[in-house]
Amino acid sequence: MLRHVSHLGYTRQPSSAASCIRWVSIGQQRSSIYLDLESDADRAKLAEPELYLSQHSDKLVILDEVHRMPNLFQNLRGLIDRGRRNGRRAGHFLLLGSASIELLKQSGETLAGRIAYLEMRPIDGLEISPEDIDPLWVRGGFPDSFLAASDGASQRWRQDFIRTYLERDIPLLGPRIPAETLRRFWTMLAHHQSGLLNAAEFARALGVDGKTVASYLDLLVDLLLVRRLEPWHANVGKRLVKSPRVYVRDSGIAHALLGLTTLDNVLGHPVAGASWEGFVIETLIAAAPQHTQSNFYRTAAGAEIDLLLTPPGRRSWAIEIKRSLAPKVEKGFYLACEDIAPERRIVVYPGQESFPLRDNVEVMPLASVGKALLDLA
C-alpha cells in the first residue's frame, strides 16, 4: 500500500517546487535505490520500467521528480499488484515530485486502492524552541530559508525560489499563465493577507475578469501556496459573511513577496498583524486532529472569531489571534462565542505565560494551544 504525502513547499532535502507531492510507502526499512527523473541517465534506466524495477523488488525504490514520467503509474500499478500477490503489501516505492492537479488525478485513478493521502507541512511553531518563533515567522518554514546564515541570505533564497517557481515549475505542471501576472496576483494576496476575498477588486487591478481571478486562486490553493479559509455556516439566526478569507500559507514567502527582510521590517509594515494571524493559523491547523474542520466566523453585525477549529465529534474551539503582549479582546469575539457556544475560548498571543480573562477566555502562547490540540489526537 502506498501513502501519498502532500507537502507545502519543502522536504528535509528541499524540493525545487513550492508544493510537492509525496507518495510514501509504508513498510519496514530496507535497502533502497534512488533515481532522479530529471537526469537523462536515470530516465534511460526506465526505458523498460517493469524490467528494471522488477530487478529491485527487494528494495525501496525512490523515484524523484516523478511528474517527469506520468505514464509510469500504469507500470507501478502492475508491479504493486504483483508484489501483493507475493505477500508484500507495503514498502514498494517512495515517489517524489512537484504537485500537479492532473498528476494527482491520474495517480488517484491508476493507483486506486493502493494509495492513501497525508499532507505534510513546513517547519511550524511547535517544532522549534520559543526563542525561534520570531525568526521562523519572518523567514517561513522552508528549511533553507529558516536556517540561512542571515536575514539577507534567507530573503535571497526566497526571492530566487519564487522566481524559479513562477518561471519554471508552474509551467511544467501545465498552466500557461504569464509569470509576471501570477506574481502580481500572489503579491496582491500577500498585501491582502487574512482579508475577505474580493474577486472583482483583484480582477480590476489585474485587468482580467472575475473567472480568471478565480482560476488563478484555485491554482494557488491546489498547489498549497494559498489557504482559502471558508466561513463557518450554521443556523444561528444571524446574517453571516459568505466570502472566504485568503492567506499566503508560508509567512516567509508572504514577506518576500512584500520585500520584508527583517523582524523590524515586518513589525513596521501594516501586514504584521495579519501575517502573524496566518502564521498561527497554519501552525494550529497542522496540530489539530485529522479531519478537523477549520473556518472563521463573522456576522454582518461585527461578531467575529479568527479561527474556529472543530475536531471530529467535538464542539468547536474559538481562537482569537493577537500580536500583542497585552491582548485586548473585542466585544465581537464575546458576541460570536455567545452565538456558537464553543468548547474552549482561546486568545493566542506571542507571550510565554497563560492567564485567564472574563467569560472563560484563556490567553495562551502558541505552543500551549498547539500542545492542547495535539493531545486531542
Q: Are residues 296 and 359 in the same domain?
A: yes
Q: Are residues 107 and 223 in the same domain?
A: no
**Per-residue pLDDT band at 224 (split at 50, 70, 90):** confident
Q: Are residues 263 and 312 in the same domain?
A: yes
Would you put residue 311 in left (φ > 0), alpha (ψ -120 to 50) or beta? Answer: beta
Residue 125 lies in a domain: no
From 120, 150, 185, give the residue that closes a domain.
120
Q: Are residues 159 and 267 in the same domain?
A: yes
Q: Are residues 22 and 155 in the same domain?
A: no
Q: Are residues 178 and 299 in the same domain?
A: yes
Q: Are residues 134 and 85 in the same domain?
A: no
pLDDT at position 19 is 35
How far is residue 41's CA from residue 369's CA, in Å, rounded to a whole number? Answer: 49
How far is residue 223's CA from residue 231's CA, in Å, rounded to a whole number? Answer: 21
Residue 115 lies in a domain: yes
Which stretch of DSSP H or E encloses residue 118? strand 115-120
pLDDT at 373 over 70: yes
Q: Are residues 136 and 276 in the same domain?
A: yes
From 101, 120, 139, give the residue that closes a domain.
120
Residue 96 lies in a domain: yes
Are 252 and 193 spatial neighbours (Cβ–Cβ below 8 Å)? no
Q: Among the listed ranges 120-129, 168-177, 181-190, 319-328, which one has the minimum average pLDDT value? A: 168-177
Closest CA to 82 of 112, 122, 109, 50: 50
Q: Which is it for the CA torsion 233, 360, 328, 301, positive or negative?
A: positive
Q: Are residues 31 and 109 in the same domain?
A: yes
pLDDT at position 101 is 59
Residue 193 lies in a domain: yes
Residue 140 lies in a domain: yes
The predicted model gives 300-315 an average pLDDT of 94
Range of the structural domain that residue 106 is part of: 2-120
The pTM assigned to this predicted structure is 0.83
How far is residue 199's CA from residue 41's CA, in Å, rounded to a whole number? Answer: 46
CA–CA distances in Å: residue 51 to residues 39, 46, 79, 81, 87 = 19, 8, 10, 15, 20
CA–CA distances in Å: residue 247 to residues 125, 139, 191, 234, 307 = 17, 16, 10, 23, 13
Residue 230 lies in a domain: yes
Are 8 and 250 spatial neighbours (Cβ–Cβ below 8 Å)? yes
pLDDT at 190 over 50: yes
Closest CA to 309 of 258, 357, 346, 358: 346
Q: Are residues 210 and 332 in the same domain?
A: yes
How far is residue 95's CA from residue 13's CA, in Å, rounded to a whole number? Answer: 14
Q: Are residues 254 and 354 in the same domain?
A: yes
Identity (one letter) of the amino acid at 277?
Answer: E
Q: What is the DSSP letter of 289?
A: P
* 8-30 pLDDT tens trace: 333 333 333 333 333 343 444 56
Neighbours of 243 (CB within 10 A): 13
Residue 33 lies in a domain: yes
Residue 106 lies in a domain: yes
Q: Are residues 158 and 44 in the same domain?
A: no
pLDDT at 7 over 50: no
Structural domain count, the chain: 2
